[in-house]
A and B are shown apart, each in its own frame.
Chain A
């Protein structure tokens, strides 16, 4: 084999090498991106789940407070408290309210004082 022929046979085909490197790098980048994105999705999903649990807890707490409010403002509970406190209120009928004597001067006249 002549020197030139051997050189032609064993020399590197740079175009092929570059193509291979480009393919490997592209595949690597795609793979790494896939892994990174997948990790990100999993991390975000975990974060979303934490937030969901948090939101559920708040909702539950809110419902519990609403429940307690309804319970303590129920008719029966209020009645029980009134009985317990014995507030001493006396029921009056609307018809028993007696009108004021119209012959007396209006209250505003006292406030304003005598007119000149």
Chain B
């Protein structure tokens, strides 16, 4: 065979070979491109989600109320664990589980086997040390060991103060989404933005860092600073505990609020729950009753009637009113007072909480003005303290649905209902010299470097009554404490208090019950320059004592005494007893 023929043969063979290879390449790269691309991606690429750390919730002094802890889920690669009989017992010791537990569940063919959930940092460190030690040992034995432990981080929410302010703080659901309280309302700020990495892996599954496609770092959630003062909150919690022990009510609520700024200093509910351990807690207990539940306010509503009458110049505090000696017949119904009163001034009518006196003030005021003032005080609409909490609006029926009797019943707090929060806000109008301010529990939102992202400024909605009128009502409320229904019940050394008792009959089966009451006291301290409004409400106290003055007023006194210390308020008036002199 000539050289030319042989050369031709080689060229033909090469051409055929290259044709086959080209055909295969065309098949792989063009015809079945998608299929092979997916296979390659599946084998070599991976997407890792990097969870964002949820922001913390702090009280007004920076005390942590809710925080996230990193816990780890540990998985073991059954094929890479060369000597499970040696390693597993040591792991059991580290994880503090019963001997044999891990060995019994171990499957050498499972490459992604769950070893333990929610492992804390110290145990993870010990496990990693153990892995490194074994890898070194196995290498010396001329084996080709590979890492056999993999770790997944998870954030778990914890609440260091347990049940304190649990209804305000709220909690997360199983997907770490805020569903109640501040956790729910501020979820968009708190949750942050998870990051992601698109990585390529080598044959052993290790990342080839140089081929990292996308590297988006997680953005941690913002921190939420509340207006809650943990010191005040603790006082409210303790106070309610004492009430529950003494009166065994079905519920008890307390709210402390700064009238000038609308800041909520504390808010407590009974029954309560620990957000760290919610198993077995009835669903109704999770509700923040201070915002959702509506009660007839009873006599505490009389401040609205009094303020309206004075603001409309229909009477003064010294205007006399005949209280019909305890029995008043109007629109076919009798109205009674607890005690028979004759001629009283408006100030005395409030001090003695005469229903007849207020019915007459209501008649003088008229339906329209009474309705308008009640709306102005914030009744019939939610306060807007926190979104997504199912906050109640209360019930203030439109005028078209008022009966002839309404003008005598609404002024004393019947035929209307309000949430405890609405009542606290209404009292803060008097304490704030006539201005209605929006209550707020979130003070500001900050990032992790302490920069303020959003600040919630105090917001005055409207001037409900004149400043002078508010001062007159305040004086009358101080008389309630000094000489009226709460006389002898409130004692805060060095401070003056003003407030109103309330004992509302509950409306059961279409009639007012003579056995079920809501006892309340709402007031503020000090009277001359109010620094906090405090509401104490007790739902169905058991036993012989059910009046607001008997049940709620002493608790108000006890709590206020401690709150003035926590807030470091300066006494404006000296106690009655002279200060004794002493010498060294």
In the complex, the chain A residue whose C-beta lies closest to that of B71 is: A64
A104 to B584, Cβ gap below 8 A?
yes
Encoded as 1 (CB less than 8 Å from any A CB) or 0, chain B from 221 to 240 comes to: 00000000010001000000
A104 and B581 CA atoms in complex are apart in Å by 12
Chain A residues lying within 8 Å of B153, measured Cβ to Cβ, are 60
- The verdict on B332 contacting chain A, using a C-beta distance below 8 Å, is no
**B 550-584 contacts with A by CB, 8 A:** 565, 571, 574-575, 579-584
Encoded as 1 (CB less than 8 Å from any A CB) or 0, chain B from 202 to 230 comes to: 00000111101000000000000000001
B64 to A70, Cβ gap below 8 A?
yes
Encoded as 1 (CB less than 8 Å from any B CB) or 0, chain A from 71 to 108 comes to: 10111110100000000000001110011110110000
Chain B residues lying within 8 Å of A103, measured Cβ to Cβ, are 583
CB distance from A27 to the nearest CB of B (A): 23
A28 and B38 CA atoms in complex are apart in Å by 35
Chain A residues lying within 8 Å of B53, measured Cβ to Cβ, are 63
- The verdict on B69 contacting chain A, using a C-beta distance below 8 Å, is yes
Knowing A67-B67, A74-B63, A75-B230, say if A45 contacts B581 (CB, 8 Å).
no
A44 and B207 CA atoms in complex are apart in Å by 14
In the complex, the chain B residue whose C-beta lies closest to that of A69 is: B64
In the complex, the chain B residue whose C-beta lies closest to that of A70 is: B64
Chain B residues lying within 8 Å of A64, measured Cβ to Cβ, are 69-70, 120-121
Binding site for A on B (CB under 8 A): 53, 63-64, 67-70, 120-121, 153, 158, 160-162, 164, 207-210, 212, 230, 234, 493-494, 565, 571, 574-575, 579-584
Q: How many A-B residue pairs have CB under 8 A?
A: 76
A45 to B121, Cβ gap below 8 A?
no
A101 to B581, Cβ gap below 8 A?
yes
B210 to A74, Cβ gap below 8 A?
no
Knowing A61-B121, A101-B583, say if A76 contacts B162 (CB, 8 Å).
yes
- The verdict on A32 contacting chain B, using a C-beta distance below 8 Å, is no
Chain A residues lying within 8 Å of B230, measured Cβ to Cβ, are 75
CB distance from A90 to the nearest CB of B (A): 15
Chain B residues lying within 8 Å of A63, measured Cβ to Cβ, are 53, 70
Binding site for B on A (CB under 8 A): 38, 41-42, 44-46, 48-49, 60-61, 63-64, 67, 70-71, 73-77, 79, 93-95, 98-101, 103-104
Chain A residues lying within 8 Å of B579, measured Cβ to Cβ, are 95, 98-99
Chain B residues lying within 8 Å of A98, measured Cβ to Cβ, are 579-582
CB distance from B492 to the nearest CB of A (A): 11
Chain A residues lying within 8 Å of B212, measured Cβ to Cβ, are 45
A64 and B207 CA atoms in complex are apart in Å by 27
CB distance from A34 to the nearest CB of B (A): 14
CB distance from B566 to the nearest CB of A (A): 12
In the complex, the chain B residue whose C-beta lies closest to that of A48 is: B209
A45 to B582, Cβ gap below 8 A?
no
A63 and B67 CA atoms in complex are apart in Å by 10
CB distance from A16 to the nearest CB of B (A): 24
A75 to B234, Cβ gap below 8 A?
yes
In the complex, the chain B residue whose C-beta lies closest to that of A66 is: B67
A27 and B574 CA atoms in complex are apart in Å by 97
B582 to A42, Cβ gap below 8 A?
no
B582 to A99, Cβ gap below 8 A?
yes
A to B CB contacts below 8 Å, 27 in the list:
A38-B210, A42-B208, A44-B210, A45-B212, A49-B209, A60-B121, A63-B53, A64-B69, A64-B70, A67-B69, A70-B67, A70-B160, A73-B63, A74-B64, A74-B160, A75-B160, A76-B161, A76-B164, A77-B160, A95-B494, A98-B579, A98-B580, A98-B581, A99-B582, A100-B582, A100-B584, A101-B581
Chain B residues lying within 8 Å of A99, measured Cβ to Cβ, are 579, 581-582
Knowing A64-B70, A67-B67, A70-B67, say if A95 contacts B575 (CB, 8 Å).
yes
